[in-house]
A and B are shown apart, each in its own frame.
Chain A
């Protein structure tokens, strides 16, 4: 919303500089996007001139050489190209040294041999309109009798002015009008607010046949009839004001509708009354798939929830959104019917959405304008119609309205003001603020009753809304800073939140950097995870994605981390160790399932190389398994590794991957990435894991309780077990643990060996056994007994003790 400062000051002059005014507006709820400028940046050098003589240029047919009085001792010579320049005119002159609105600096110049000391200005040059057919003749627009040559041009016509560019919040459509903003200035400063000027009494009682079929969607439709309208250009002041507000001048009738809209926020529509067929208007629902060609020359297909304004032969416009071509005002128009209506905001919004057709009017109506406003605005518009077009108003307001509810009084309790704001504002001050904002205020004991003006009755309906009005004008920034008194509040993280933080720290400490990748992915990206096929599973698909790349919610994090690896290797990284904790999405739209995943990716060395370990080798399954084991140890959640089952993980090498199990269920995977998947991502290989952290958190053990430990030293023994190659180490350890007796504390594989010595198809596992008793040092005999039992058990699973 562009508010030219001169226009605003006419209704309420803040007496403040533009920057201070902007600050005060911002601090009371009217956001100022920026302070703009219309026309010249500086007004110096723009003066009123009187043309004394005009002669033809000796060497150029179209140029005139004028002698112009600009208030100096001697008249100056100005060469002018306008055909209408002549002696006796009062004109706008820009002098050498001044800067034009378009940034051009004016200099003395020779035009075909004649020196010109400045320029006589046209409307276009002053950015008032597009008109460049001739220079402005000020005496035609203003009373210039008392204006001396050389006076600042700003005394009659601003060559440049400040414009407040406001961001009006959607609850304040009244501030989409200059007068609404002026009322804010009035409330802020207490300076007087000029009322809007109303039109003359009608000279006639003509009427018009108007029918509104649905008052829910059209609460009110009003019209006034103007005869003997002379369509033509608007006066200069009106054009200048519209231009400064960002509206292009067209003709006086259209300009009046725009001007009054910018002043009051109420859009309106002028019909050429003689082109309304059948002398009637009907506001009805559009028929299903009814067609209309709007003013922008596009044929639109409507539906039954939209309203159309029709004459006897069909639709002339889409109600509240855009008029049609049939009854547009033209230069031949002599009779005007001025429509000012109220529409149902949400329905206008729906219509404009559905048709993808936004207009200045629809943008205002959809915010819900007051149904009482049209009656006032008819009066305001009439004054200008009569004064500027020479028209005669021949009707009173033809008003077709449903039941219009009047704003109701709302109680404001003084105690409640302090209770909500935490600072006392005397009730008398509350009353003053509300009165400035046009509320009707009445005291009721300690409290007051405030009735909002009709144009605020959507926005202000409750006591809290009144308190907001009081608070913002009083200045929310003046309130004290206190803290809530809530002795029961104790801040803490949940166990799952602590787990997440603990694991993030653990991973960072172990060399893994945290990534945050997009929650979106695409089918194509997911299918890159399934060599030669499609990744199984149901997806949550966004109905209106920004692009196909971001159209599906990720069912797993892996793709994102592979892209992180791809990105970093392409930029010279020698290894990528990364993790992400984030949401993944499964299930269906009617039953979406989200869980927090912890994903890890290792590509390249498992830790940084150094001069003592120049080649740490490539990370593999076991490197990342170590991290998972650390996660298990850190969280206290036992995580088991079982062979991968099913074909849900086409991105893994089946024989080098595991299902992760905790709390008796699968919680994720760990495995080396399929070489074709790695290749798709331009990396040589990787190992990845992904854990469902929600399930891990659910398996968190209770807080640890102390268990006494023996002070007697443990005895250790290493054994080598030869087993067939396909027997998993876990099975061997299980056998050892089940047969090692009650003093066996621990059995760990510390070496694996395959080769001729152990025989083909076999492997040797070196296992360290740790025995301990709580009350004594164990004897050799006792450990020997356990060892015998272990040997026996190992034989049952095809193993033999070596050496």
Chain B
């Protein structure tokens, strides 16, 4: 082995050891210049190859290039090591105050609790195969009373109870006229719910002249009162919790026969009528039941108004129900005063940004 090759090998091992021992990127650069720079010994040796005797040229050139390659690789590896360490150190020192508030998204808006509850009810019925129908609020007496089988002297017709524009035009007192409008438009089967504003001439602690109802109508062959019960049981459990039961009490409505009122078992006292501490439950007034809606089997007289649209009372039958959205919102969210629904106080609305599920 020639003297020069030995020299190269010693440079290589000196370089490797120098690279291994540097502690900073600056030192590493010095080492690079010292071993691989233009003026480095290795460079000089490689430049002088031409002057070597012919038999040495090959081995020296090979050794020199190997040494350079190895040192370059070691330098690159060491550089990455040092850079990573430097970054780690930098990040170690980078501390923000994570307790400062986040930059607000544009949000902070909330749906009205009425809308939340309305949507929740809509979704339950959409899931049971219903569509959503709508109708006018300025309504004809025909749709609001006559076609719904209200007797000519039904008290709701009175001007003391209902807002009129003139004798034949009023503000609808319930969402039920949409039953007639829907049946006029489409033959059975019909499965619709009708959310909307309704109006009654009443204003006190427990009444506002405008409020919201959701009507339901299901008409097909063979729909029974038991189907009404099952449907409203599903509804009650979806809205008020899966342990709920419903109770049907006979009642009277002009446009259903038989008519019932539906109570749901109290979710505050689990239908017991009293709380754990033995005190009387004020939500259900100690009865264990809460009235939530009126319902019944569509009266044959109502079908007779839409017979031409395919509603033969001997062939089709169905049920209808109607509930107050404010009442459900009160029961579900405990909003205690009807007026709060229409004040639109942002502090109330903000509470419903997340209304719960």
Contact = CB atoms under 8 A, between A and B. Distances in A.
Interface in A601-627: 607-608, 610-613
B210 A514 contact: no
Nearest to B193: A491
Interface in A529-562: 540-546, 550, 553
A482 B227 contact: yes
Contact of B229 (A472, A480, A516, A546): A480
Given A345-B153, A477-B248, A482 B109 contact: no
A607 B257 contact: no
A511 B258 contact: no
A408 interface: no
Contact of B165 (A419, A541, A573, A594): A541
A795 B165 CA distance: 60
Interface string B297-329: 101100000000000000001000000000000
A508 B101 CA distance: 21
Query: Range of interface residues on chain B?
Result: 35 or more
A249 to B, nearest CB: 30
A541 to B, nearest CB: 7
Interface stretch (A22-30, A636-644, A725-733): A22-30
Interface stretch (B3-11, B127-135, B178-186, B275-283): B127-135
B132 A482 contact: no
A473 B154 CA distance: 25
B229 A517 contact: no
Interface string B332-354: 00000000011111110110010
A516 B153 CA distance: 34
A576 interface: yes
Interface string A566-595: 011001010011110011010001001010
A46 B159 CA distance: 50
A519 interface: yes
A554 to B, nearest CB: 11
B169 interface: yes
A584 to B, nearest CB: 10
Given A518-B342, A519-B210, A544-B164, A492 B191 contact: no
A144 interface: no
B199 interface: yes
B109 A514 contact: yes
Contacts, number: 250
A480 B111 CA distance: 38
Nearest to A418: B224
Interface string A471-482: 110001101111
Residue among B151, B153, B248 with max Cβ neighbours from chain A (10 Å):
B153
Given A489-B191, A508-B109, A511-B109, A170 B101 contact: no
Given A171-B252, A353-B158, A483 B171 contact: no
A589 B166 contact: yes
A501 B119 CA distance: 9
B75 interface: no
Interface string B100-111: 110111111111
A64 to B, nearest CB: 47
Nearest to A473: B250
Nearest to B158: A353
B33 to A, nearest CB: 41
A432 to B, nearest CB: 18
A546 B349 CA distance: 28
B112 interface: yes
Contacts of B346: 513, 568, 573, 576, 578
Interface residues of A, number: 92
B215 interface: no
A497 B231 CA distance: 23
A511 B197 contact: no
A612 B103 contact: yes
Given A421-B225, A471-B225, A511-B106, A542 B164 contact: yes
A366 interface: yes
B258 A514 contact: no
Given A486-B129, A578-B344, A583-B137, A519 B111 contact: no
Contacts of A468: 250, 257-259
A217 to B, nearest CB: 13
Nearest to A465: B257
Nearest to B233: A481
B154 A594 contact: no
Contacts of A483: 128, 227, 230-231, 234
Contact of A520 (B128, B191, B209, B247): B209
A464 interface: yes
B297 A420 contact: yes
Nearest to A575: B346
B132 A497 contact: yes
Interface string A489-503: 111111001000100
A518 B210 contact: yes
A54 interface: no
A420 B153 contact: no
A520 B260 CA distance: 33
Interface string B35-67: 000000000000000000000000000000000
A577 B109 contact: yes
Contact of B227 (A28, A31, A345, A422): A422
Interface string B194-220: 000101010100000110000000101
A476 B203 contact: no
Contacts of A104: none
B203 A508 contact: no
A628 to B, nearest CB: 15
A679 interface: no
A510 B345 contact: no
Given A476-B249, A514-B110, A594-B137, A484 B225 contact: no
A486 B129 CA distance: 9
B331 interface: no
A481 B223 CA distance: 12
Contacts of B132: 493-494, 497
B129 A513 contact: no
B165 A479 contact: no
Contacts of B101: 610-611
A421 B163 CA distance: 36
A251 interface: no
Contact of A346 (B110, B137, B152, B223): B152
Contacts of A349: 152-153
A413 to B, nearest CB: 11
A520 to B, nearest CB: 7
A592 B169 contact: yes
Given A471-B250, A543-B164, A567-B344, A513 B128 contact: no
Contacts of A421: 224-226
B222 A513 contact: no
B350 A513 contact: yes
B69 interface: no
A651 interface: no
A497 B118 CA distance: 13
A514 B349 contact: yes
Nearest to B130: A491
A514 B111 contact: yes
A567 B252 contact: no
A381 to B, nearest CB: 27
17 contacts: A27-B249, A170-B154, A345-B153, A420-B224, A482-B229, A484-B223, A486-B129, A489-B129, A508-B110, A509-B106, A509-B109, A513-B110, A513-B346, A543-B163, A577-B109, A610-B101, A612-B103
Given A481-B230, A509-B106, A509-B109, 18 more contacts: A171-B252, A419-B224, A468-B250, A468-B259, A472-B258, A476-B225, A481-B229, A484-B191, A484-B223, A511-B107, A513-B109, A516-B115, A518-B210, A542-B164, A576-B346, A594-B138, A607-B108, A610-B104
Query: What 9 A-B pairs are tightest by C-beta distance, nearest first?
Result: A422-B226, A422-B224, A489-B129, A29-B250, A169-B252, A349-B153, A472-B250, A491-B126, A468-B258
